[in-house]
């Protein structure tokens, strides 16, 4: 097995990329919890797998689309 050696600049770049990914995950989890209106908590969503969060996101998108088409109030 060959080890990859990174310099300080490459390590900082990885750290920055990982931090950006973490912020995106937190943002999407908070958004999903908000859209679920108490059906799931932020912690519940954070504990979901990547696949489960994607399915939840698709469900939310479908529900938003249905709401738009039906003309019913969203809030």
Q: What domain range includes position 62?
A: 8-70
User: 21 in a domain, yes or no?
Assistant: yes
- pLDDT class for 1, splitting at 50, 70, 90? low
In a domain, 55, yes or no: yes
In a domain, 12, yes or no: yes
Residue 37 counted as domain residue? yes
Residue 18 is assigned to a structural domain of this protein: yes
Give the orientation angle of helix 50-70 with respect to helix 8-35, to 10 degrees. Answer: 50
Q: Is residue 1 domain-resident? A: no
Tell me the pLDDT tens digit for each residue of 8-54: 999 999 999 999 999 999 999 999 999 988 899 999 999 999 999 99
For residue 2, is it within any domain?
Answer: no
User: In sequence order, what are the residues at sequence separation of 6 or more whose Cβ sits closer than 8 angstroms to the Cβ of residue 57?
Assistant: 28, 32
Q: Which residues contact 42 (CB under 8 A, 6 or more apart)?
A: 29, 30, 33
Tally of domains in the chain: 1
Q: For the whole model, what pTM was predicted?
A: 0.76
């Amino acid at each position: 097995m060959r080890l990859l050696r990174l310099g300080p600049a490459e390590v900082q770049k990885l750290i920055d990329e990982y931090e950006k990914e973490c912020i995106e995950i937190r943002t999407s989890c908070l958004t999903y919890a908000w859209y679920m209106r108490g059906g799931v908590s932020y912690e519940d969503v954070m504990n979901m797998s990547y696949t489960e969060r994607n399915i939840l996101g698709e469900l939310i998108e479908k529900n938003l689309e249905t709401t738009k088409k039906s003309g019913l109030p969203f809030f």
